Amino acid sequence: MVALIHNRLSKAVHMHVISIGILGIMGRMGQAISGLIQKDPQFQLIGGTLNPESNHIIHETSLCLSTSPDLIFEKSDILIDFTNPETLIKHLNLSKIYNKPIVIGTTGLTKNHHDFIDEAATTIPILYAPNMSLGINLLHALVEKTASILGPQFDIEILEKHHNQKIDAPSGTALSLGQAAAKGRNVNFENQSVLNWVNHPKRKENEIGFAVQRGGDMAGEHIVSFFGPQERIELSHSASSRQVLAYGALKAASWIYQKKPGQYSMMDVLNLK
């Protein structure tokens, strides 16, 4: 018994506390993540970047807070980025310069952003997920499997609902669910996705349709419907707060710590691949 207690204490003493820097610390997700970090002994909050145009009043003096990200990168083991597409490439360049892993939850990315992520992942570990929720990522696996089993006689529609301040539409999560469905069907997502049904001709086989709702302060809901002959199957996920995304982001940060260079996703974290 004494030896067992000694071993457990020894592991606790030698457990490395992961220092986290949050890019966009005063944003909605930045604040949610920083709140969780400060309750978890596995992590240490170094600080984060501030928007130069922000009018937030900062009372905390023990954190490193700056409009310039260099110091945040230097002091942190891992960076978490929920800022915007305009700053992502700069953050990826700094990750390469300081050789630091980065967890990216920023949505609204273009092909150019994804190409840059692919290139940066040859030298640093990158975990990108348009939605960090554990439930949403399980939903991806279920959508892919369901699309594969049901076949083209079932039409696929994806409905997403978010708060009235969300900028991108359809959401990055909705698009990734569509990509999962396309993978299950073994079809090209770009060719089969229908983002707007207005003036669209009669539906074709394997098309994946999208619908968007914006209103209030709802955190997010996604519904994937499979419409078949005489029956309908729906797979859905609803988040009541951003805490689920913050929790997932920290789980991703813990998982990617000390991983070799490469591009990873929440599917890797949950061992769903």
In a 3-state reduction of DSSP, which class is residue 211? Answer: strand
166 is catalytic: yes
The H or E element that residue 235 is part of is strand 231-239
User: Between β-strands 220-228 and 125-128, what pairing exists: parallel, antiparallel or unpaired?
Assistant: unpaired
Distance (Å, whole) CA 213 – CA 164: 9
Give 49-87 as a 3 state SS string: ECCCCCCCCCCCCCCEEECCCHHHHHHCCEEEECCCHHH
> Of the listed 166, 183, 251, 259, which one is catalytic?
166
Residue 25's closest CA among 74, 75, 64, 71? 64
162 is catalytic: yes
Which residues have CB under 8 Å from 26's CB, separation 6+? 48, 50, 51, 54, 56
| Cα dihedral 43→137→258→93 (10° resolution) | -90
Angle between helices 134-150 and 243-256 (to 10 degrees): 90
> Of the listed 161, 162, 222, 237, which one is catalytic?
162
> How many residues are given for the chain?
273
Helices (H) and strands (E) in the chain, counts: 10, 12
User: Which residues carry out catalysis?
Assistant: 162, 166
